[in-house]
Homo-oligomer: A and B are copies of this chain.
Amino acid sequence: MNHGSFRDRTTADLRAAGLSAVDMVERALAAIDECDPVLNAFVTVDAEGALAAARQADAERAAGHVRGPLHGIPVAVKDMIAVRGLPHTLGSAHFATQVSTQDAECVARLRAAGAVVVGTTTTHEFAYGPTGDVSATGPSRNPHDVTRMSGGSSGGSAVAVAAGLVPLALGTDTGGSVRIPAALCGVVGLKPGYGTVPTAGVFPLSTTLDHVGVLANSAADCALVHHVLAGRPAPTASTHRPVRVGWVRPDALFDTDPAVADLARAAVAGPDVVLGPAEFPEATATHLRELFATIQNSEVFAVHADRVAEHPELFQPEVLDRLRAAENVLGWQYVRALADRDRQRAEVDRLFGGHDLLALPTTPVTTQPLGARQVEINGTTRGVRAALLSLTSVWNVLGLPAVSVPAGQLAGLPVGLQLVARPGQEDLVCAVADQLRRPSAPPSGTSTERQTR
């Protein structure tokens, strides 16, 4: 299939190209018109609103006023995040007719920095699933193979960037929901440190694990947008070098396709990178995943208890089943999990040892067919959900900044490398990820508009 104008293009590319905001929005709208009937990345496209905002951006620029680093850049926003005047379905029949009356704080900050919102993107229902194929608004489809999952829950945002429909998109990440679809679709995804971006106006999945993140074509763009979202000035470049990167054997966390692990590991290379082995005890991984389940189960059911009681039929069946299982965690177990998490966070330095960053694959396998719930890894049958979440959710428990970058392809399907940093090190992890960046092989049938860099 064809792809839009923004395929692999960064905001720096767009600034260099000198495109007007109206130009960019028109290209985005045209690409969406062309590709989205198949991809289903978007829930709502606000052509009129986006064009009006683009015209205003161009007028402002003509008058010498540049709002900020995203002036005139088209962005898409996951349907878990409120965008004033647009439908806010959360991928659920429960909210089929909801329209947001206000922008979420993160969207307001994007607009203040000049971004133009072109629409909202498909989410797994209530962001409660890493596959991206269970939603009242339909599954988002992987542009590398439209019979396969986008990954989720921020599937539409990853697809929109991967297919070049927009250069930037917002997602949310509770257990990997930005990084997983970024990896499966072959784009960059940043989950920043916990609490760095306000969640006001973002519908909760699990309040103490939810993060607002960014999908883009470069880690530098993720850092740029993150600074806008976090309300901090962009950093002056000051990467200390060399950077010591610790390789976490993914098998310590979950059965992993060796070809995926090899590609991811090979991607950690560069003149300023020193790669060595990291100690990541299997018991720590198991413990962190248990904490994740206890915390998320308690918090997600707290969000949905009334809906489960009153209108269970409006949920997607798989999501309802998961909620009903989540109900049974006991209060004291949750209390202990929070306390354990605090202890784990306090000891995170030990986990890093002498390393500046940790590296591992983002997911243990590449994208699976839509609707698949089992996958064979190294001869063992595993659940797809558990597999997809297995290498990412631990970093949500610890609240650490983590980025997924493309690390090549297997049989035409993208592989993601995940880099994880200590708290407050979003800039470092993005800078290193950006150094590793190389053009991934494009999906078949690349648009003729694609620029070579």
Residues of A within 8 A of B (CB): 207, 294, 297-302, 305, 326-336, 339
Q: How far is the CB of A110 from chain B (nearest CB, A)?
A: 27
- Taking A207-B335, A301-B332, A331-B334 as known contacts, 5 extra A-B pairs with beta carbons closer than 8 A to each other, sorted by chain A number, are A298-B332, A298-B334, A302-B336, A302-B339, A328-B330
Number of copies: 2
Chain B residues near A305 (CB-CB < 8 A):
332, 336
| Cβ contact of A298, chosen from B297, B300, B335, cutoff 8 A | B335
A329 & B332 in contact (Cβ 8 Å cutoff): yes
A330 & B332 in contact (Cβ 8 Å cutoff): no
CA distance A300 to B332 in the complex (A): 8
CA distance A227 to B333 in the complex (A): 36
- Could you give 15 example pairs across A and B, Cβ below 8 Å? A294-B331, A298-B330, A298-B334, A298-B335, A299-B332, A299-B335, A300-B332, A301-B330, A302-B331, A302-B332, A305-B332, A305-B336, A327-B330, A331-B331, A331-B333
Q: Which residue of B lies closest to A208 (CB)?
A: B335
Q: Which residue of B lies closest to A301 (CB)?
A: B332
Q: A305-B336, A335-B298 are in contact. Are A329 and B330 (CB under 8 A)?
A: yes
| Cβ contact of A326, chosen from B300, B327, B332, cutoff 8 A | B332
Chain B residues near A333 (CB-CB < 8 A):
302, 331
Chain B residues near A334 (CB-CB < 8 A):
298, 331, 334-335
Chain B residues near A326 (CB-CB < 8 A):
332
Q: How far is the CB of A300 from chain B (nearest CB, A)?
A: 8
CA distance A302 to B305 in the complex (A): 23
CA distance A207 to B298 in the complex (A): 19
Q: How far is the CB of A337 from chain B (nearest CB, A)?
A: 9
